[in-house]
A and B are shown apart, each in its own frame.
Chain A
Amino acid sequence: MSMIRQAGVAAAAALLVAAVGCSSGPRPNPDLTGAHTLVSEAEQSGAQRYASLNLEAARTELKQADQDAASDKPVLATRRAQEATVDAELALARTRSAKAEQALQEVDSGTATLRSESERQSNAPPPPMPPPAASQPPQFQ
């Protein structure tokens, strides 16, 4: 191909890219979309309570990723999105384990309560018997 032709093709390609780019804004980034989804999932799972540090890190990274994408820095946006993803996953995993440990704790403490209640009752004097029938009007016909 001649040089001019090459330049023309390149220019046309660039125009096309620019046209596509300009009309729809920054190209959608699957890592960024996925990160948003995962951070949202972590929030809904209760990570704010059980893994707030990891959740906060994910949010910060995600915000940075959005800014990088908007400023046309796709490589940085992807990195931050991947970091946000992994922090959101960690927040989710820690939330699930914290809930499982809490459930376990509740069962164990329930058992302890039952045990001490049972011991207390077996050491206590038996409840008073109802008065013998002789002191009541006879009910036997």
Chain B
Amino acid sequence: MRNTDNADTKAIVVNTTPHVRRYGGVSQCTLPVLAALLLAACATTSPESESALAQAQSAVNTLEADPLAAQTAGKSLQDARDALAAAIKAQQDHRPPDEVVHLAYLARRRAEIGEAIIAETRAHDQMQQAQARRDQVLMAARERDAAMARQQASSAEAQAAAAQSQAAAAQSQAAAARDQVSAANDEAAAARAQLADLQAKQTERGMVLTLGSNVLFDTGSDTLKPGADEALNRVAQFLQSQPGVKLRIEGHTDSRGSDSYNEALSQRRAQAVASALMARGVDASRLQPVGRGMEVPVATNDTAEGRQQNRRVELIFSNLQGQFAGVG
């Protein structure tokens, strides 16, 4: 062993707390070693080796103080303690400063390795919790999304159901309307058929039944002849069967005589027909007797035949709702 002893002694401060002192704090494991050498004469040590030992001691103290050191970095902790012990022993054995510095350096790094291992373990442990937290938030978000989607879905379902029942209602409405229309069409067809039976003709004014005046009246008279009965009976019967139908009764004459005479005669004749129908149970409100005089000839007044055709009574039937088509 290289002997660099001299008479100088250096007190070694014994420090039982893990706190760092310039001349080296004492870790628990090296305490007995150091205590044994307390009174030993110590050779001059170099500032470099003192400083290196101090740093090594500090690093080991830090590692010792970490509560996770024993369970997480146990091997590193032991390696660091052993390395520090070797460094301190080297110093006490008066080994060259280079050697002490080297051993102290190894001890310091060993302790720092232990710290790094603890940090890695800590991060791994926290990772599980962090992932669990993240999964919680993710699940909550997904649950919320699912709830919203369910809500939207059921709302859409409700809308669809409402729309469906609307459509069904509209469909049955349409069907009912179609039925109504076809029923009305059937009724109108039946009425027209009835009128056709009466020899009424379909014109632009509606169904028109033309009765020759000579069938109904004597010349210049407004008294109905018995020959008119059959026709009037059948018209009355028709009107009873179709309560909505109204009747316009137009009296027409030929051109012989004055306007006013013919107008008055035709009016009285129309009225006579109306009265005859009322006598057969037809309500007056449904009848519109009007005298047209010679205004609307249907044939020429220059021939006897033509004049006979012009002398007529026209029965113009409304539709089933009591409406007349255009102006006669």
A residues engaging B (CB < 8 A)? 79, 82-83, 86-87, 89-90, 93-94, 96-97, 100-101, 103-104, 107-108, 110-111, 114-115, 117-118, 121-122, 126, 129-130, 132-134, 138, 140
Contacts and interface: CB of A to CB of B under 8 A. Distances in A.
B120 A97 contact: yes
A108 B130 contact: yes
Interface centre among B99, B106, B110 (most CB of A within 10 A): B106
A134 B166 contact: yes
A50 to B, nearest CB: 10
Interface in B196-246: none
A86 B123 contact: no
B280 interface: no
10 contacts: A79-B102, A86-B109, A94-B116, A103-B123, A108-B134, A111-B133, A117-B141, A132-B163, A133-B167, A140-B168
Given A86-B113, A96-B120, A107-B131, 18 more contacts: A83-B106, A86-B105, A87-B109, A89-B113, A93-B113, A97-B117, A97-B120, A100-B123, A104-B127, A108-B133, A111-B137, A122-B144, A126-B148, A132-B163, A133-B163, A133-B164, A138-B163, A140-B164
A114 B134 contact: yes
Interface residues of B, number: 36
A129 B120 CA distance: 51
A140 B163 contact: yes
A120 B9 CA distance: 73
A83 B104 CA distance: 11
Interface centre among A97, A108, A129 (most CB of B within 10 A): A97
Contacts, number: 92
A87 B130 CA distance: 31
A114 B133 CA distance: 11
Interface stretch (B153-161, B252-260, B303-311, B313-321): B153-161
B140 to A, nearest CB: 7
Interface in B109-147: 109-110, 112-113, 116-117, 119-120, 123-124, 126-127, 130-131, 133-134, 137-138, 140-141, 144
Given A111-B130, A114-B141, A118-B141, A138 B120 contact: no
B180 interface: no
A118 B137 CA distance: 8
